[in-house]
Amino acid sequence: MNSKKIMMTSLVVGLAIAAITVVLSISQTPQSTAQVAPVIPPQGNNIYLFAEGSNPQATFQFAEGTETSDFQLYDMTTGIFGTGSTTSIPMRLRDAEFTLARTVGNTPLLHNAVTQTYLNGGQMSITDFPNKMFDVSVSVVQAGGEIKLRTIDYQGCSITNYKINTRTDNEEGYTTGGKTGFAVVETYTFVCKSFALQSQDYDSMIKEANKSPFEK
């Protein structure tokens, strides 16, 4: 009887020692030194270098609402003067085409407009769908968008092309601190029925010149 108690006691002690050994070995295991890169929130064009701080910003008027986003590239594919090489129709009577490009980011309404256009067969589709046509206001801004140097208001716009590509050769404009890297960029092409030119600095100058001397 005593021998059985001794055996049971020895077994319990052995199990306890084994459990303590496992706990100690786990606690003394070296922690991984791998560093996880921090998630950097979107900072728009504030992190990029633009000459004199002038950079493009676009505001879209969609059926679901308004969305304003910074873009790194803005190109007027068709200029406002001249007739072009393939037609004699003056530019002011033709559709205006332009492209916008930016790193892939948080632009849900614009992304949805691309999806809708694709699913419904593009701008020439006979199907009427939300965001088939919308307005876009493109501004060249300074000081975080507070100063608009030049604005072009486009009306009746549609998306004619969209692509995503990774830039590995001319990505320097997207990387900061003199570092090389990769830039995943999405490029949009738009065609609009009409547009109007706005000049905030000129409007401010005229307003100031016409201000009454009695105004403060």
- Across the range 58-87, mean pLDDT stands at 83
Contact 192, 136 (CB under 8 A): yes
Residue 3 is inside which H or E element, if any?
helix 2-27
- Across the range 41-59, mean pLDDT stands at 82
Pairing of strands 147-167, 134-142: antiparallel
- Across the range 109-134, mean pLDDT stands at 90
* Calculated CA dihedral for residues 205, 55, 187, 134, nearest 10 degrees: -30
Strands annotated E in the chain: 55-61, 66-70, 73-76, 96-103, 134-142, 147-167, 183-198
Hey, how many other C-beta atoms are within 10 angstroms of the C-beta on 97?
A: 17
Dihedral sign (CA 119, 122, 128, 130): positive
What is the spatial distance between Cα 153 and Cα 58, in angstroms, rounded to a whole number?
Answer: 10
CA angle 56, 61, 63 (to 5 degrees): 150
Candidate CATH numbers 3.50.50.60, 3.40.50.720, 3.90.1300.10, 2.30.110.20; the one for domain 48-205: 2.30.110.20
What is the spatial distance between Cα 133 and Cα 118, in angstroms, rounded to a whole number?
Answer: 13
The residue with greater pLDDT, 139 or 176, is: 139
The pTM is what? 0.69
What is the spatial distance between Cα 190 and Cα 75, in angstroms, rounded to a whole number?
Answer: 11
| pLDDT at residue number 133 | 94
Q: How confident is the model at residue 156 (pLDDT cuts 50, 70, 90)?
A: very high
Q: Integer distance in angstroms from the first to the last C-alpha of the chain?
A: 108
Mean pLDDT, rounded, of the chain = 78
Among 46, 86, 93, 37, CA closest to 70: 46
Residue 17 is inside which H or E element, if any?
helix 2-27
Least confident of 26-35, 39-48, 57-66, 149-158: 26-35
Pairing of strands 55-61, 134-142: antiparallel
The residue with greater pLDDT, 4 or 67, is: 67
